[in-house]
Amino acid sequence: MKTTSVTLVPEVSVGGETLAPAITLAAATIRQYCRQLRLPTIASQFESLAEAAVREGQSHLLYMDALLAAEVEERERHAVEQRLREAKLPRLKTLDGFDFAQMPHLSATQLRYLAQGSYIERGEPVLFLGDCGTGKTHLATGLCVAACQQKKRVRFTTAAGLVNDLVEAQQHNQLSRALARWSRYDLIAIDEVGYVPLVEVGAELLFQVISERAEKAAVIITSNLPFSEWTQVFTNPRLCKAILDRLTDRAHIFETGTESYRFKRTLEKRRQYPKPSQP
């Protein structure tokens, strides 16, 4: 392929000086190439990075390295943002934002190790059991955020929301498509298992999702009930046993306790209020 070389005239643009016509044309051509190749970060930064390279006496290779690194970094950021949007998290919370000092019985080391994502690769369940306000949803969300940062496909839902989605799909003869859609996620977090008893058809549909992922794809479950009380949610004893059998196999189980972290935080804030002055 024949290439055309351009000899640049001395007036190189550095520090805001007027560009030579040939350089102006070259810059416009580079922007056009970037549009065609979909390289928006290079298009927006190649001139400023070129000026920095001239000032610092960098080689062509170092300049190209910095330019491509900027493009890759921006694409990585957009990819993570897209994963976070698709996950439909209730709130954006991380493990770093969790106050483990208030929950000394929880292993911060183990949870941070899980956040590295190996449990997703192995398809291992993670279960958080405890009363309301003990941080179950925060911890589940934190693991979901970490997975999104690794560009995994993640979906957060409540048990009731998932069941409603599947029941509606079944009513429209779209159940197979809905199950296939849920199976494509690398990680599913099902929140609030146990808050609402499930009718048998809903329990059976939820079992299908959990059973399909067993030993193949990761799932996170939060529940306010100990395992011994799950028959309140899954009223069919055999179905309940089958669900627990699949969820507890190779699972990472965390008991968050009974003392509400939110209630404790509220009490601490109240103690910080100035006391009314005595008459």
| pLDDT, tens digit (0-9, with 9 covering 90-100), for 250-277 | 999 999 988 776 666 666 666 666 665 6
Burial of residue 144, with CB atoms counted within 10 A of its CB: 0-12 exposed, 13-18 middle, 19 or more buried: buried
| Domains of the chain from N-terminus onward | 21-78 (no CATH), 88-266 (3.40.50.300)
Q: 218: which strand partners?
A: 187
Cα separation, 217 vs 199, in Å, equals: 26
The 8-class DSSP code of residue 269 comes to H
Both tokens assigned to 16: 């805001």
Q: 253: which strand partners?
A: 127
Whether pTM > 0.85 for this model: the answer is no
Q: What percent of the chain has pLDDT over 90?
A: 69
Contacts of 115 (CB under 8 A, 6+ apart): 95, 142, 143, 146
CB 51 within 8 A of CB 15: yes
| pLDDT, tens digit (0-9, with 9 covering 90-100), for 169-225 | 999 999 999 999 999 999 999 999 988 889 999 999 999 999 999 999 999 999 999
Q: What percent of the chain has pLDDT over 70?
A: 86
Cα separation, 148 vs 120, in Å, equals: 12
Q: Which residues of 241-269 are buried (b: 16+ CB within 10 A; e: fewer)?
A: eebbebbeeebbebebbeebbeeeeeeee
